[in-house]
Structure formats: structure tokens, C-alpha cells
Structure 1
Amino acid sequence: MSSPYFPILTALFVGVMLISNITGTKGVVLFDDWLHLDIGPIHMNGLVTDGAFFLFPLAYVLGDVISEVYGFRAMRRTILAGFAVLLLASLCFWLTIHLPEADFYDGQEAFERVAGVVPQFLLAGLAGYVVGEFLNSFVLVKMKERTGEHRLWARLVFSTVVGELADTVVFCAIAASALGISTWGDFLNYTIIGFVWKTLVEIVIMPVTYAVVNWLKLAEPSYRKALEDTPTE
């Protein structure tokens, strides 16, 4: 694909995924000093999340932009590129952990505590993001086939809900134990908060997504040509 913008978007997407899989190894509890709730199996003492909560939604925003402007095939290549980079990162962390440490190095245990759980997060991230991003892109593209250039907001919202729900459930089911989550209540907290938070963030920043998508459609030579070649009624 000859495009001045697609490689930049792909690099941003892969970078966000890689950073999220590292920062996500830290368990985080927000507002535990005042937020307490007991409803059935849900016992909430603060919001249980991880260190990637503020960054990961950006991956779905970038996925929406790529899918809307460049199509499902381009997004599939982007997902596979991210998959390859995350596998390489996991292999590098594993090899580095098992290299013999120098006598003067006293950070082996700390390094293992952070990088050692990355393979489990890698599996969770890969499974969640492959399922979620594919569904997100597929739903958005299929809806676009029906609506054309209209109702971008509906495509963004509905594809986000479907993709984020699948991603969150799959990711949390695999990653929860690596964070030390051991109770059903904490797992529900982690899963529900993750889904609601990521979905709300995407909805709140939808005006930004709109602006980026519309700018790219005007700036991208291949998209302008496709619109020019599309017959009008």
C-alpha cells in the first residue's frame, strides 16, 4: 500500500500494544479510599484495573481509523504486524531473564517480577486483541458497506462495544491470575471496569476520532481516488 500515513498509524498501533503489554503487568486499584460496593457476587473496594488502563483504548481508536480509511485487509496486516512484534518482545524478555547475570547486577529479581509475567500477558493480550480487533474492524467495515460514508458515529460505537467486550473478557480471563486476582468479585470488578472504561473513553474522544478520520479521507490520495471513482446516483 503506497500511503504516506498508513505506516505511521501502523507504527503507533504496534507501539501502543507493546507498551500496554508491559505497563499492564502492574495491578492498580483506584479510589479504594471511598468507593465500596457490595452487589451479589461483586464486592468492590475501589476500581481494580492495571497499568495500561489509560493507554490501551488508544489502540482501538487507531484500529477504528485504519479500518474506516484503509479497510479490513489493511487492518488485518496491522494486527499481524503487532502480533509479530509482541511475540518477538516476549522472546527477548524470556532470553534476557535466563541470561547469566553479572556479579555487580542486583536487579535480577526485580527484572523477573516485571518481565517474567509478560509471556502470560502476551498470551492474554494476543488472544484478546486478535479477537477484539478483528471483530472491531469486521463490524465497522461491514456496517460501512451498508451505510457508505454516513453514520460514522454508529459504526464507531457499535464496533467498539463488540470489540471491547470480546477483548476484555478474553484478556481478563487469561491475565487476571498474573496480577494476583484470585477472587470472583475482583475478577468481575476487573472485567466490568475494564470494558466500561475502555468503551467510555472511546465514546468521549469520538470527536477526535471523527476529525482524524475526516482529515485522512481528504489527505489520503488513495481514498480520494476511490471516492472519485465511485458512481453517484
Structure 2
Amino acid sequence: MTTPDNGSGQGSAAAAAPGETHSPRFASIGSQYYAILVSLLTAFYLISNIAATKQMSFNLCFTDWVVDGGVFLFPLTYLLGGIITEIYGFRAAFRAVLIGFAAMVVGAVVFGLVTASPPVGDAHNQEAFEVLFGWDGVYVRILIASLMAFVAGQLMNAYIISWIKTRFGESNLWARLMSSTVFGQIVDTFIFGLIAFTTFPLFLNVLPGVDLFPLMGWGEFWNYFIFGVIYKCLIEWVLLPITYAVVGMLKRREPSYRRAA
């Protein structure tokens, strides 16, 4: 039996007996808080994908680590995804992922239309724009990789949080957030890096008008994958006190969450 929680996910709760599950509390999505969280998730996702067109290298502990421009904001999408799942449940998180997915598709269509439109004056800027945002350019490749990775990683993240909460109740929020982040980021970083940067998708060059090229060697890819997972998980850990505060505030302020107690 689950004891009432203190509003921050840290209330005492007994683990379910073998085969037993708790009835987890979730709020309804018809509130301004859900809309704000989804808006932030979508905005961070869009910005990160545009920034990811640039690869960077940092020297840390006498080793050069390869990252992309999404390294600054993208980890926060998992923090937001975790908060959404914890408060509103798996279905609400799935809806948020679909909204982010749709926003990226709309962005790709707009960039494609802008690229195809005739430029004014010098064609030099047009050529540079086509390299980044053309249908066979870097952005579209990153878009496809990101859509696949984002959906797979975020759904993994949401499923683990929802499953652990159903199994163990309101207690141990930190365990839900950290375990879901580790598995979600492994899936996300691997799929994204494999498709966006390596030779893996070059078989598509047989299609007319497609001219893909590798952006990383395999050594750089594994460097990117290992550092990316560790870095993103560390960000989640460092921001855990903020996550606890936000979750606690939402559990206190969401009337439908309190009524579910």
C-alpha cells in the first residue's frame, strides 16, 4: 500500500509484492503547466536539431571528445520528458513527443521551400544554404536521424518512468529519472550518431539526387557516443535538485494530481 507522498515524489511507499502493482497518480493534461512543458520541449528540440549541424571537439582530461551543437540544450529535453511522464503519464508524454515530431517535420518543409526558392543576387549564400538545409544536405540527414532517435529515446524514457512508478509507487523519484535517462540516452545517442554522422546511411546514394557523405569516422562515432551518454546523464544528475523542485511544485499545484491521491 502506498502512503501519501509529500508532493515532491519523495513520500514513503512500500514496494509492491511480487506480481503486485500500484495505481500511480497522474494529472490530466488540460492545464497551462502541461502546455508550457510541451512548448519548452518542442522549442529545445527544434533549436538543438539546427545546432546539431555543427560538430565540435573539446579537449577534456587530455582527450579530444567529439560533440555536436545540440549538446547545450538537448539534454534538457529528457529532463522535460521525465517531468511530463512523472506528472501526466506515458500517454501525455507520447503526445508531447508527437508534437515535437510534427514541429520538426513542419520545419523541414519550410526549410525545403526556402532552399528551393530563387535567391536574390550572389549565389554563394544559396550554395551554403543548400549544403545545410537542402533535401540532400546536412540538415535533412540530421532531421531524419533526430526524428528516429528522439521518438525511440523519449518513448524509452517515458516507458521506464511509468513502469517504475506503477511498480513502486511515488517513492524513489531519483531512481526513475536516472534509470530512464541512462537507457533513453543510450538509445537516442546511438541511433542519432549512427544515421547522422557515419557511413551507415550511404547506401541511399543510389537514389537520384542523393549525395550523402560521412561526417565522422567510426572512431569519432564511438567517441561521440560514449561522451554523449556520459555527459547527458551527468547533466540530469546535476539538475536533479531543480527537477525535484519542479516536480514537487507541479504535484502541489495540479488539482487533478491532488484529487488522484
TM-score by length of 1: 0.88
**Residue deviations 1:159-204, cap 9 Å, x none?**
1111111111111101114795342211110111111111111111
For residues 141-180 of structure 1, the aligned pairs below 5 Å read 141-177=162-198, 180=214
* 2:139 paired with 1:118: yes
Match of 1:223 in 2: 257
Structure having the higher helix fraction is: 1
TM-aligned CA deviation for residue 105 of structure 1: 6.6
> Which amino acid in structure 1 is aligned with residue 159 of structure 2?
F
> Which amino acid in structure 2 is aligned with residue 31 of structure 1?
N
TM-score by length of 2: 0.79
Match of 1:107 in 2: 125
C-alpha RMSD over aligned residues = 1.7
TM-aligned CA deviation for residue 99 of structure 1: 1.0
SS of match in other structure, 2:109 = helix
For the 8 Å contact 1:217–1:223, the answer to whether it is kept is yes
CA distance in structure 2 between the partners assigned to 1:184 and 1:103 by the alignment: 40
**Residue deviations 1:133-164, cap 9 Å, x none?**
00000000010011111000110111111111
TM-aligned CA deviation for residue 103 of structure 1: 2.3
CA distance in structure 2 between the partners assigned to 1:51 and 1:172 by the alignment: 13
Residue number among 43, 49, 70 corresponding to 1:52 in the alignment: 70
CA distance in structure 2 between the partners assigned to 1:103 and 1:176 by the alignment: 33
TM-aligned CA deviation for residue 128 of structure 1: 0.5
SS of match in other structure, 2:70 = coil
Unpaired segments of 5 or more residues in structure 2? 1-28, 199-211
Match of 1:135 in 2: 156
Unpaired segments of 5 or more residues in structure 1? 37-45, 228-233
TM-aligned CA deviation for residue 35 of structure 1: 2.4
For residues 31-50 of structure 1, the aligned pairs below 5 Å read 31=59, 35-36=62-63, 46-50=64-68
Matched residues, percent identical?
Answer: 43
**Residue deviations 1:27-47, cap 9 Å, x none?**
100127x724xxxxxxxxx11
